Amino acid sequence: MDATSEPEWLTVSEVARHFRVSTRTVTRWALSGRLRMRRVGPTGRLIRIHSSELNSEHDLPASA
């Protein structure tokens, strides 16, 4: 991977900025299965969203 390429797994904050929603909304989408995610960290509390989710067509509801 070179320095100019996009990282494969993004943070919840990065995805929230992309979709212009709150981090809580992105977390809900991920936990409900609407976004491809994986848990990282020693306890598995951190969530990463696959970068392909930014470009794919989703039927994601807008945040209320």
* Predicted model pTM: 0.77
**CA 58, 27, 42: angle at the middle one, nearest 5?**
125
Q: What is d(CA 11, CA 39) in angstroms, rounded to the nearest whole number?
A: 11
Reply yes or no on whether the pLDDT at 62 is more than 70: no
DSSP assignment letter at 63: P
pLDDT value of residue 31: 94
**What's the pLDDT tens digit per position in 5-55?**
667 999 999 999 999 999 999 999 999 999 999 999 999 999 999 999 988
Burial of 26 (0-12, 13-18, 19+ CB in 10 A): buried
Instruction: List 40's β-bridge partners, or say none.
Output: 46
